Structure 1
């Protein structure tokens, strides 16, 4: 049985992509899977950032057939220059790094890194094992553009990370990423790199019933984190207000603040227009989306290349439930919608509430268009992009690595 060690430096250990999809698919396919994941102040954390203070307290445990090893979160960015020097000069492993120590001890056949800094760990572990006579393979599962040239950061920091990435990719066996644009970016660094796109798609939901666009009032759904800093809460409230001046619109908000925090404070005049479900289990999301017509994604595509290229979980979650997606002009989502006719793109990389309200008004008066796009949304998931399809891509990558020794 081949041993896979999943390396995580930032994500929650129950992350939908890492744990619920990839790790569980590998276990189902017969791999022995170990995950090495970070704790914050001694605790593992949930997908919304809430600390698990009552559960998952052990430093090592098994969960759903996957071995979980934990370490205290390391702030790698504070020692970036040191890490770069280590990678560049191929110096001895920094054995004081608990993350690296745990990873080396696994003696795994394949290491699967999910962030820039877990890739650093993977390279160091691969070097250490090679010096011991064991040849392991390394996968970099790049969820985002890192470094992102559009983010506000010191130019020197960006350059160091870019140089460091090029060196680390020289020792990476294959790359998985989440969008075609990110794949092209990797090939611009080196056309010979092995890169495969595996979208953040969910398993095909059961009990799907077409009918979007036939509600008396239009129902828009948002899934994910939404608070004062993330999720465009104030914009969504403004959209709801503007739309209801012209036609009835209701909003379902799945997620929101952390579980440990109070629900979002809805303006009193919109309380009957907003349904808050709070955070629900991953498997319950389709049930909460029932009755909705459209899904909403709003990302800052002007100030972040990562957002411009993004194909987020929620995008495919909407499509999975037959909900056409309303989105601003983000390159990859825009191209996907154009190609498969499964959504509506409003004007502007930084779309305003007024832009979205205008788009929703257009859709409200074109209910047949919503219904047609809904059927297309579900069809494209059934035929091309459900997790069952992505799982085949994942296992094909592993098969190729195993065949290569």
Structure 2
């Protein structure tokens, strides 16, 4: 089957889209990822792990104003898909869903709508948020299959529309080789987007007062602040190095601001990586990571006092970290490997779903 995937980033690569495209190509499908190269700095055509990548313009930024350029991107993608004549279109996230809608109506091809995030969570305006939800409800009803990243997102989407079919494909990983060695000094590691609302600045301040080491990797608006803080700033590092840092740390944290719905139901890739390498995760009480791995994570209230109190307790009890590391691996291997998710993904295109 010829499958076209659409994504609104340059695919450099997008980890989830990469894993899905690779798995489908391995299963014998012809997969073409059409990406939006807003920076105009990546190869126009590329062959990766058995699938093709086509990058299109126009040049655009990453803020709200990129919406003005979206129609131009849609037009370019429309022309390419007409030429490719695929058997199925697999749209990633709300901002490319309209392409699936158009081609399903125009050509009657199979449309898989892959929902990574709740886009209304990213806007401050209630009016715009309401419009996104209403338009997304139409997309959900019309698509042949909706893929969600976790059961909690499925529950929310079922409240918006009657889905023809739904499959949960979590953003997980496969087991890999790694060194199991913890740093001598009590260490916390964070790798990811450096933005507000992720408790990064607070962790740095708490760790300074407790005498812990904090190692930070990534890029974002907090970069300069972190560089001038007591934390060890690693900048943007390769994934292999990030895994080594995670494995060496005693703890990591997924402390997203719970006032945002998308944060409460997030199941980030780093949760599963932490399970596999045996590094327990501080998470916000009541959020999805706690439900997914209750015996592995360390739930805390979203406050400096609560986090500081928990860090004091955990740092003085290394047995807890060792026990949780063991439990985390067991939970991961039983429920969350990419192999499990891959099987469900492939069934979508085999006619079994």
**Could you state the TM-score of these two structures normalised by the residue count of structure 2?**
0.88
Is 1:202–1:317's contact at 8 Å kept on the other side of the alignment? yes
1:292 to 237, 243, 249: 249
Give per-residue Cα distances to partners, 1:105-128, cap 9 Å, x unaligned. 221112111111211111112222
CA distance change for structure 1 residues 194 and 42 in 2, over 3 Å: closer, same or farther?
A: same
Q: State the secondary structure of the residue aligned to 1:42.
A: coil
Q: Report what 2:191 is aligned to.
A: 223
Cα separation, 2, equivalents of 1:331 and 1:390: 22
Is 2:104–2:111's contact at 8 Å kept on the other side of the alignment? yes
Is 2:178–2:277's contact at 8 Å kept on the other side of the alignment? no
Structure 1, unaligned runs of 5 or more: 45-55, 84-93, 131-135
Matched, 1:146 2:150: no
Matched, 1:343 2:297: yes
Give per-residue Cα distances to partners, 1:255-281, cap 9 Å, x unaligned. 2459xx8794143xx3xxx44333233
Q: Report what 2:128 is aligned to.
A: 157
Q: State the secondary structure of the residue aligned to 1:97.
A: helix
CA distance change for structure 1 residues 160 and 207 in 2, over 3 Å: closer, same or farther?
A: closer
1:181 to 152, 168, 171: 152
1:251 offset after TM fit, Å? Answer: 2.0
Structure possessing the higher radius of gyration over alpha carbons: 1
CA distance change for structure 1 residues 96 and 291 in 2, over 3 Å: closer, same or farther?
A: closer
Cα separation, 1, equivalents of 2:219 and 2:123: 26
Cα separation, 1, equivalents of 2:242 and 2:73: 42
Alignment of 1:237-276 (within 5 A): 237-244=204-211, 249-257=212-220, 264-267=226-229, 270=230, 274-276=231-233
What number of residue pairs does the alignment pair up? 347
Cα separation, 2, equivalents of 1:363 and 1:333: 19
Q: Report what 1:318 is aligned to.
A: 274
CA distance change for structure 1 residues 115 and 96 in 2, over 3 Å: closer, same or farther?
A: closer
Is 1:225–1:256's contact at 8 Å kept on the other side of the alignment? yes
Cα separation, 2, equivalents of 1:22 and 1:305: 25
Structure 2, unaligned runs of 5 or more: none
Q: State the secondary structure of the residue aligned to 1:314.
A: helix
